[in-house]
Structure 1
Amino acid sequence: MSRATPWSSSEVEATVATYRQMLVAELSGQNYKKRELNRALMAQLHGRSASAIEFKHCNISAVLRDANCPYVDGYKPRSNYQQSLVEVVEELLLRSELVDRAARLAADLPVVDTTGLVDERIIVEPPRTTPPQKGVLEFHADYSVHSLQKRDYLARETRNRELGLAGEYLVMRFEQQRLIKAGKEKLAERLEHVAVTQGDGLGFDIRSFEPNGRDRLIEVKTTAFAKESAFFITPNELACSRAYSEHYHLFRLFNFRKGPKLFCLKGDLQGQLWLEPDSYRAGVR
């Protein structure tokens, strides 16, 4: 079969159905074998190559990412998907009660703080992501038409206070270890978890230090989902990153339950992020 041959609706549906098996298993903490599932899928597609199937899975991940939903680990989102794929993903994944229950449970799952030391080996390069495609925004709007609840699992996970605190505690240990390694034990003792000691209104979570004693202000964003998952940032945090650009760091922790990794953005965040309005405070005038 030529690689240029358009995918039929039955092929797309079979691929999304296989993806659903992997996603539900992953969200539920259940072991599964991608290779076996994809081998069975390949038999249904009559000639599609393994690379073509993987590319389609990555397209599905992109649709889910743009819908603020978790996606299968290992299938990095690839955009420029067709609206026909959006419609199948909406029907078989976003409207699936099974996926919804698994995703809600994964977003709400509590986490306990670990005690192991962490060092620079957990640091990775930031991902390059793009704003959601228009089609995904449109089917978000369709939820109100069909009287379905908009299922924003990333927002739900953001309210998981145990997960957020565990991420902040990990960063506290990371910073302490970094300063001790630099021979700055006294600075390590002065670290302050300001989100706990002073509340959430400062625009950052942790006051740390550079080895020369300069402030290092750290905002921590934690997810148990994948590296490319979107996150939420407040106007106050953006303003703080601009006002204290020489000191500001955003630490994005991801894959937290499986094995935490992080990437860091430094300075004024305004030009480093794509930003999408989420809601407005309003009153009748």
Structure 2
Amino acid sequence: MPQSHWSVLEVEAIVATYRQMLVAELSGQRYNKSQLNQALMERLQDRSRSSIEYKHRNISAVLRDADCPYVDGYKPLGNYQGMLVEAVERVLLGSEIFDRAARSAAERPAVDSAEPAHDGVIVMPPEASQSHHEINERPAAYERRPIKRDYLAREAHNRELGLSGERFVVSFEQRRLRQAGESRLADRVEHIAETQGDGAGFDVLSFEPNGRERWIEVKTTAFAKESAFFITPNELACSRDNAERYHLFRLFTFRHKPRMFCLQGDMSDYLCLEPNSYRAGIR
């Protein structure tokens, strides 16, 4: 028999459990996801484990669309209802303990990682249905989007995290070239953002084994794979004008398990671009 619609009390209970997981994760504390979900199932006796998993993923989608971190392992699943948005904003986003944990995680300095391994670091980009269509589809009448927060923007201004990500990519590229037998090219890899500043439109100058230049823009987050990031008009123009050599490396889960996906070419062909801010002056 199909299960009935979730009640307000049920939704608030699962959001509260999700908040426990997320606050612990953001604070670097260990927690037992299975135990928390088992306790939740005992409270929600008419809900199956699979329905609880799906609802957790719906919560992740709400947080993704609000530019917030979400629990690692609960990949965002869209088509959520307005009642869930309201519960997430009230029980989770309105919580002082979550706000403190999210701000701290966004602003926490990062320590440069050890020499990055080559195997297993690169993964496939998020599927288009997650990173593009769901974000841009118009909600149904009973749906609404959450109000955006500034946690991802705060993290984007975390200079120590950004530098650590760029240095990780420099080391990764040097190792890649040495493994290809091109030590001479590896020695020429340059951290452009440090040697020339931020105006070049990319962060790292590297090379293909045949000597062709590889221009790499690095975007680093300590949060999950599908988290949005910020790209400047200058970086977009650089990718358009130099598509054959331009790469964007998106590092994620950087602090505990660095992984990255890579895009190559004109970034306008890949990215869902939303206006974020305007430079303004008095007329």
TM-score, with structure 2 as normaliser: 0.94
Aligned residue pairs total 275
Q: How far off is 1:115 after superposition?
A: 2.6
Match of 2:160 in 1: 162
Q: Determine if the alignment matches structure 1 residue 50 to structure 2 residue 30.
A: no
| Aligned-partner residue type, residue 79 of structure 1 | G
Indicate if the aligned counterparts of 2:193 and 2:202 stay in contact, CA closer than 8 A.
Answer: yes
Contact 2:63–2:69 (8 Å) recurs in 1: yes
Q: Secondary structure of 1:224's match? A: coil
Deviation at 1:283, TM superposition (A): 2.0
Q: Indicate how the Cα distance of structure 1 residues 10 and 100 shifts in structure 2: closer, same or farther if over 3 A, else same.
A: same
Question: What is the match of residue 214 of structure 2?
Answer: 216
Change (3 A) 1:282 1:203: same
Partner residue in 2 for 1:78:
77
User: Aligned-pair distance for 1:107?
Assistant: 0.7
Q: In the TM superposition, what is the alpha-carbon distance from 1:111 to its structure 2 partner? A: 1.2
Name the structure 2 match of 1:201: 199
Letter in 2 for 1:17: A
Q: Contact 1:67–1:137 at 8 Å: present in 2 too?
A: no
Q: Distance in 1 between matches of 2:95 and 2:154?
A: 18
Contact 2:65 2:146 in 1 (8 A): no
1:121 is displaced (CA, Å) by 2.1
Q: Secondary structure at the match of 1:155?
A: helix
Provide the C-alpha distance between the structure 2 equivalents of 1:270 and 1:86, rounded to a whole number of angstroms: 30
1:4, CA displacement in angstroms? Answer: 4.2
What aligned pairs does 1:129-168 form with structure 2 within 5 A after superposition? 129-130=131-132, 131=135, 139-140=146-147, 151-168=149-166
Q: Percent identity?
A: 64
Note the 1:159-198 alignment, pairs <5 A: 159-198=157-196
Residue identity opposite 1:75 in structure 2: Y
Within 1, Cα distance between the matches of 2:177 and 2:36?
47
Gaps of 5+ in 1: 141-149
> Distance in 1 between the 2:40 and 2:116 partners?
42
Structure 2 CA distance for partners of 1:16 and 1:105, relative to 1, 3 Å: same
Distance in 2 between residues matched to 1:194 and 1:120, nearest whole Å: 25
Amino acid in the other structure paired with 2:275: P
Tell me which moved more, 111-120 or 75-84.
Answer: 111-120
Q: In the alignment, which residue of structure 2 is the partner of 1:251? A: 249
Task: Provide the C-alpha distance between the structure 1 equivalents of 2:103 and 2:236, rounded to a whole number of angstroms.
Answer: 28
**Cα drift, residue 90 of structure 1:** 0.5
Give the Cα–Cα distance (whole angstroms) in 2 for the partners of residues 28 and 8 of structure 1.
Answer: 30
Q: Deviations over 1:232-271 (max 9, x none)?
A: 0111111111100000000000011111001000000101
- In the other structure, the counterpart of 2:123 is 124
Q: Determine if contact 2:110/2:160 at 8 Å carries over to the other structure.
A: yes
Q: Which residue of 2 is the match for residue 280 of structure 1?
A: 278
Whole-angstrom CA distance in 1 between matches of 2:168 and 2:157: 18
CA-CA distance at 1:187 after TM superposition: 0.7
What TM-score do you get using the length of structure 1 for normalisation?
Answer: 0.93
SS of match in other structure, 2:215: strand
Corresponding residue number in structure 2 for 1:260? 258
Q: Given the superposition, is the C-alpha separation of residues 108 and 86 from structure 1 closer, same or farther in structure 2, using an over 3 Å criterion?
A: same
Structure 1 counterpart of 2:64: 65
Secondary structure at the aligned position of 1:179 is classed as helix
Q: Where does structure 2 lack aligned partners over 5 or more consecutive residues?
A: none
Q: Does 1:271 align with 2:275?
A: no
Local SS of the residue matching 2:166: helix
SS of residue matched to 1:68: coil
CA distance in 1, matches of 2:75, 2:145: 23
- Asked if structure 1 preserves the Cα contact closer than 8 Å seen for 2:61 and 2:76, the reply is yes
Say if 1:66 and 1:132, in contact at 8 Å, map to a contact too.
no
Query: Which consecutive aligned stretches of 4+ in structure 1 deviate over 4 angstroms post-superposition?
Result: 132-139
Q: 1:133 to 1:70 in 2, by over 3 A?
A: farther
Q: Is the 8 A contact 1:241 1:248 kept in 2?
A: yes
